[in-house]
DNA sequence: CACGCTATTGACACTTTGCCAATAGTCTCG
DNA sequence: CGAGACTATTGGCAAAGTGTCAATAGCGTG
């Protein structure tokens, strides 16, 4: 099983090798937990010696985090200009676009969804936070609202909701797409426009 | 470091021992990731031999999951009878009660929040799902709405939102408690009452 | 063609995990 | 009260995994 000796020794530029390893390893980590995949298996999948993984990433864990970082980032594709529409409609179209993305390459995004493992300052938490923050700004931009810290915080809080709703829709099938769209649209509107009373 | 030999051999009933180990080990897992805590350390904390952990829980992982299961369950304390109030007010009081709980013993609940690790069918995912489902039913009951599958699904989807909002409020301090309450109340109202168009 | 730089390897040492036979509490029965 | 049975508990063993490091071998240069 762990036959891995790469009979041919290919030499790549460091950057290229880094990327190649990450890509070769991604599928393994997308469907199996961190602990279930051994360094030997990772190395075999990438066609390199075990030592090389530590050489490039320091530890197995860091490679894992790196793979996750590039797996959970919301794809920034272009959204048609919505500036002429009223706010509610802009929000609706934006959420629809997100649902579309989720349905298409969503697999990874949602499975990685709940994301972040527990334990306080986990390294993964940091990565997921980055991604959520990124998604929040992307959404604000699409909706046409300013990149205000308060708004970002609010939209960031919504990221987990978007994922859980997508999961109910795509995985558990307890929601229809129409429902998901309605619920998310309304919620984003509330979070984006509700004034503080204090 | 790994000096652990329990000089005295105490004998407990299986159930008692199980519980004692779980409790002794909980603090370790609440602030350190799964991989950072060795079986030796767990055993030392519980004052038992390493082998006993495998004897009772099978694997280190299963003990971990067990600890998490009992850490993320929403505490079911009694909420005064709200049945005389109008729906929005019932929701508001219920959410206020949840925020109260989060602020008090929330530490664990929130840190364990985002919860669930990635990878499809993870064992942890199952536990977190259980907890979210439980919380959804508890909330529906408090609000005075029926235990309908559709409603449960919707409320369940909100669980991650509640946690992320609490985190923005308590950890990042980007939201005030009043804001958190307003936002969650409105969102729950939407999820609980919005009709399906299809 | 020889040399140097460095990407890559393979073996080694150490930690950790799960397993199992041996040990020793505790309870029961004569 | 003492012997024996039952089983909770232990300690050591073997396998697996991880990270380190000196040695190897591509590839470009003079």
Q: For residue range B101-136, what is the model confidence (pLDDT) as tens digits? A: 899 877 666 666 554 555 556 888 888 899 999 999
Name which of A153, A168, A198 is nearest B157 (Cβ-Cβ).
Answer: A168
Say yes or no for a CB contact (<8 Å) between B33 and A125.
no
Tell me the backbone φ, ψ of residue B177, rounded to 5 degrees.
-65, -40
Please write the tens of the pLDDT for every residue from A141-195. 999 999 999 999 999 999 999 999 999 999 899 999 999 999 999 999 999 998 8
Residue A111: pLDDT band with limits 50, 70, 90: low
What mean pLDDT value characterizes chain B?
89
Give the distance, in angstroms, between residue B46 CA and nucleotide C18 C1': 18
Q: Does B92 touch chain A (CB under 8 A)?
A: no
Query: Percentage of chain B with pLDDT > 70?
Result: 88
Say yes or no for a CB contact (<8 Å) between B154 and A176.
no
Residue B190 has pLDDT above 80, yes or no: yes
Q: Does B77 touch chain A (CB under 8 A)?
A: no
Distance CA A151, CA B177 (A): 16
Alpha-carbon A90 to chain mean position: 23
Q: What is the pTM of this model?
A: 0.92
The DSSP secondary-structure symbol of B47 reads T
Token pair belonging to B154: 């919707």
Residue A115 has pLDDT above 50, yes or no: no
Q: List, in sequence order, the alpha helices (H) in B144-176.
A: 149-166
Distance CA A66, CA B161 (A): 26
Say yes or no for a CB contact (<8 Å) between A196 and B179.
yes
CB A53 within 8 A of CB A70: no
**pLDDT of res. B197:** 58
Q: Does A95 touch chain B (CB under 8 A)?
A: no
Question: Chain B neighbours among A 128-167 (CB < 8 Å)?
Answer: 128, 149-150, 153-154, 156-161, 163-165, 167
**pLDDT of res. A4:** 44
Please write the tens of the pLDDT for every residue from B148-180. 999 999 999 999 999 999 999 998 999 999 999
Tell me which residue of A136, A52, A91 sits closest to B168, measured CA to CA.
A136
Name which of B61, B117, B165 is nearest A157 (Cβ-Cβ).
Answer: B165
**pLDDT of res. A186:** 98
Which residues make up the interface with nucleic strand C when CB must lie under 7 A? A 5-6, 9-14, 17, 47-52, 55; B 2, 9-11, 37-40, 50-51, 54-55, 58-61
Residue A77 has pLDDT above 80, yes or no: no
Distance CA A41, CA A64 (A): 13
Name which of A33, A115, A156 is nearest B114 (Cβ-Cβ).
Answer: A115
Alpha-carbon B180 to chain mean position: 19
Q: Does A54 touch chain B (CB under 8 A)?
A: no
């Amino acid at each position: 099983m762990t036959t891995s000796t790469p009979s041919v020794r290919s030499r790549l530029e460091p950057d290229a090798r880094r990327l190649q390893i990450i890509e070769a390893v991604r599928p393994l980590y997308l469907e199996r937990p961190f602990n279930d995949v051994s360094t030997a298996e990772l190395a075999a999948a990438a066609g390199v010696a075990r030592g090389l993984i530590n050489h490039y990433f320091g530890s197995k864990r860091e490679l894992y985090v790196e793979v996750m970082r590039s797996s959970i980032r919301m794809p920034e594709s272009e959204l048609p200009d919505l500036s002429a529409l009223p706010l509610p409609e802009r929000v609706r179209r934006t959420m629809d676009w997100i649902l579309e993305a989720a349905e298409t390459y969503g697999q990874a995004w949602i499975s990685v969804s709940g994301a972040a493992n527990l334990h306080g300052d986990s390294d993964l938490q940091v990565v997921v936070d980055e991604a959520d923050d990124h998604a929040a700004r992307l959404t604000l931009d699409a909706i046409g609202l300013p990149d205000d810290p308060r708004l970002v915080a609010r939209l960031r809080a919504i990221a987990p909701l978007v994922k859980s709703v997508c999961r109910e829709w795509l995985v558990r099938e307890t929601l229809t797409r129409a429902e998901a769209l309605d619920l998310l649209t309304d919620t984003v509107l509330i979070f984006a426009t509700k004034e503080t009373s204090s």
